[in-house]
């Protein structure tokens, strides 16, 4: 399934739906990538794959965490606006990160060492036009 190349938003969502099937309760998925790389689209796909209506999934840029009830609870987080990991701690993020739901995290590096060691790190990169490369990174987000 990965690495993958997609050429539309719909294709990235479809990939997310397929990836959802391989996520166990408690999975934490870090979504790395630049602005507009498709992290939110991929998150919508994963949420859809877990039974959440993707139309209800919106970017948690200002609220930091959105919660959805799917086959498993889905926690969608976005670190873009955070300056310090403590902002997530104040929201009780450890309950989510070490709970039985699935966490999907945009701008995950902003959470610093709050990310659990078994976090799955995915990276989306722009590859011209509507093309995106999506790949698995190493443990702890390494290459």
Ligand X SMILES: Nc1ncnc2c1ncn2[C@@H]1O[C@H](COP(=O)(O)OP(=O)(O)OP(=O)(O)O)[C@@H](O)[C@H]1O
Nearest-angstrom CA–CA distance, 135 and 99: 25
> Which of 28, 29, 37, 97 is in the footprint of ligand X by CB under 6 A?
37
Residues near ligand X (CB under 6 A), total:
19
Q: Which residues contact 111 (CB under 8 A, 6 or more apart)?
A: 77, 79, 82, 85, 88, 93, 105
The reply to whether 41 sits near ligand X by the rule CB under 6 A is yes
Candidates 9-17, 21-29, 49-57, 97-105; binding stretch for ligand X (CB under 6 A): 9-17
Nearer Cβ to ligand X, position 66 or 106? Answer: 106
H helix intervals, 21-72: 39-49
**Interacting residues with ligand X (CB under 6 A):** 6-9, 11-12, 33, 35-41, 59, 80, 106, 130, 132
């Amino acid at each position: 399934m990965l690495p993958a190349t997609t050429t539309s938003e719909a294709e990235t969502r479809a990939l997310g739906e397929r990836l959802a099937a391989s996520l166990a309760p408690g999975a934490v998925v870090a979504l790395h990538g630049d602005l507009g790389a498709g992290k939110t689209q991929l998150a919508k796909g994963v949420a859809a794959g877990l039974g959440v209506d993707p139309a209800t999934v919106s970017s948690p840029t200002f609220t930091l965490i959105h919660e959805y009830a799917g086959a498993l609870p889905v926690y969608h987080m976005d670190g873009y606006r955070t300056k310090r990991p403590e902002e997530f701690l104040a929201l009780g993020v450890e309950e989510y990160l070490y709970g039985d739901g699935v966490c999907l995290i945009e701008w995950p590096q902003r959470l610093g060492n709050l990310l659990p060691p078994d976090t799955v790190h995915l990276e989306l990169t722009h590859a011209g036009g509507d093309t995106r490369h999506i790949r698995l990174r190493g443990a702890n987000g390494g290459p």
